[in-house]
Structure 1
Amino acid sequence: LAKKVKPPFLPKIKESVDVSNFDSEFTSLQPILSPPPVSCSLSPEQQEAFADFDFSALHG
């Protein structure tokens, strides 16, 4: 993106997990796992795009 237009508002963020700019209506909700309706596999090229991604969901 060229980012030629300055945003009218830049929120102040205290830390990387700061959610103070989101309404508590949303931040108080419990997250719900929503897997895709159809299972799919990624190609080797698509897998490479996530090479440094280290998150793994906890199922329990």
Structure 2
Amino acid sequence: MPHRTELYQDVPSTRWPIVYSPDYNITFMGLEKLHPFDAGKWGKVIDFLKGKIVRRNLP
């Protein structure tokens, strides 16, 4: 018998199938710029992905 799960849900075509929150970007009064770790990388990743998807759907 197959396992039943409700972990995955259908995503409407009007929504991005990506889990993201602006809270993932770490900031601390600008001091994050002094550290080599890219604290805002998740914001850059989501912008990159959205740009790729939009360009792919253009006629």
How would you bin the TM-score normalised by the shorter chain? Answer: under 0.3
Q: Could you say which structure has the higher helix fraction?
A: 2
When normalised by structure 2's length, the TM-score is 0.25
When normalised by structure 1's length, the TM-score is 0.24
User: Highest relative contact order (Cα 8 Å, sep 6+), 1 or 2?
Assistant: 2
